[in-house]
């Protein structure tokens, strides 16, 4: 455990509150298009439900690597149609701006302080399925002090495929055991552990809203379990 040199972070859910953030930008969009009757949180959930199936097309090899902004945009159009709206009749700039809601998500309250402390002792980077521009715009807006923007795009593989973790370790010139994945999702951590990474679990019990049922607690004996990023920094002596 002592030899961890780099901390790599899941982002959607672990670092940022995607559901509230996406709903915040969906609300005015729906109102402007005459659909103020729709619940923006329900649409955010519907948009997110299409996230894993879209990446699965790439993981399975049925589709070449395609960055997340493109998948998000395709999924947005499907969700709008599913709710009786016609994206073909909307301005391209409006759709692109809404798609970039994912670039403008806010971090959970403990994140900035925790990351600034962790950065003093470790190399810190996102290991997210988000693309470089999405993660970089998010960091610039929110002040996330990453040392580099890593994730699916530089390694051309989506988590939880082992290549996503192993090629990230290769970029950092470290054996996998010198990286620790920090995530709020037991499944992501299980895949990281199978690839040889150390693991740290942080619960985010309202990621999916007030009725969340999953990922409320650790499901394996992860190397660290912390309340939030500040607690993790304290546990790691940072």
Binding stretches for a second copy (CB under 8 A): 69, 123, 125, 131-133, 135-137, 139-140, 147-150, 153-154, 171-173
Distance of closest approach, residue 132 Cβ to a second copy, in angstroms? 5
Q: What's the closest the beta carbon of residue 147 comes to a second copy, in angstroms?
A: 5
Closest approach, Cβ 173 to a second copy, in A, equals 6
Between 149 and 230, CB nearer to a second copy: 149
Expressed in percent and rounded to 5, the helix, strand and coil fractions of the chain are: 50, 10, 40
* Edge-to-edge strand list for the sheet holding 6-9: 123-126, 6-9, 179-183, 198-201, 224-225
Query: Which residues lie below 8 Å from residue 201, measured CB to CB, with a gap of 6+?
Result: 183, 184, 186, 189, 218, 222, 224, 225, 226
Structure tokens that stand for 63 in this block: 């589709």
If you ran DSSP here, which 8-state letter would residue 189 be given? H
- Measured from the CB atom, is 134 or 226 closer to a second copy? 134
Q: State the nearest-atom distance from the C-beta of 124 to a second copy, in Å.
A: 9
Closest to 152 (Cα-Cα) out of 8, 15, 21: 8
Cβ proximity of 185 and 15 under 8 Å:
no
Distance, CA of 147 to CA of 154 (rounded, Å): 15
- Contact call for residues 233 and 112 (beta carbons, < 8 A): no
If the CB atoms of residues 81 and 140 are measured against a second copy, the closer one turns out to be 140
Q: Which residue, 131 or 186, has its beta carbon nearer to a second copy?
A: 131
Min. distance of Cβ 236 from a second copy in angstroms? 17
Closer CB to a second copy, residue 82 or residue 170? 170
Residue 1 or 173: the one with the smaller Cβ distance to a second copy is 173
For residues 180 and 6, is the Cβ–Cβ distance under 8 A? yes
CB 125 to a second copy: min, Å: 8
Cβ distance 141 to 176 under 8 Å?
A: no
């Amino acid at each position: 455990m002592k030899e961890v040199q780099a901390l790599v972070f899941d982002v959607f859910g672990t670092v940022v509150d995607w559901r509230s953030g996406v709903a915040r930008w969906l609300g005015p969009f729906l109102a402007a298009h005459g659909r103020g009757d729709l619940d923006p949180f329900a649409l955010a959930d519907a948009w997110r439900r299409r996230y894993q199936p879209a990446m699965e097309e790439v993981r399975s090899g049925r589709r070449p690597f395609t960055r997340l902004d493109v998948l998000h945009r395709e999924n947005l159009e499907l969700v709008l149609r599913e709710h009786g709206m016609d994206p073909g009749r909307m301005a391209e700039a409006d759709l692109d701006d809404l798609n970039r809601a994912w670039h403008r998500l806010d971090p959970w309250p403990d994140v900035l302080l925790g990351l600034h402390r962790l950065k003093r002792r470790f190399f810190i980077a996102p290991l997210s399925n988000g693309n470089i521009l999405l993660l970089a715009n998010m960091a610039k807006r929110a002040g996330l002090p990453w040392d580099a923007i890593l994730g699916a795009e530089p390694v051309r593989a989506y988590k939880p495929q082992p290549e996503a973790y192993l090629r990230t370790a290769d970029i950092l010139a470290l054996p996998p055991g010198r990286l620790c994945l920090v995530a709020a999702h037991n499944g992501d951590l299980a895949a990281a552990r199978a690839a040889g990474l150390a693991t740290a679990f942080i619960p985010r019990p309202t990621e999916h809203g007030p009725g969340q049922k999953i990922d409320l607690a650790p499901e394996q004996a992860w190397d660290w379990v912390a309340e939030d990023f500040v607690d993790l920094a304290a546990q790691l002596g940072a």
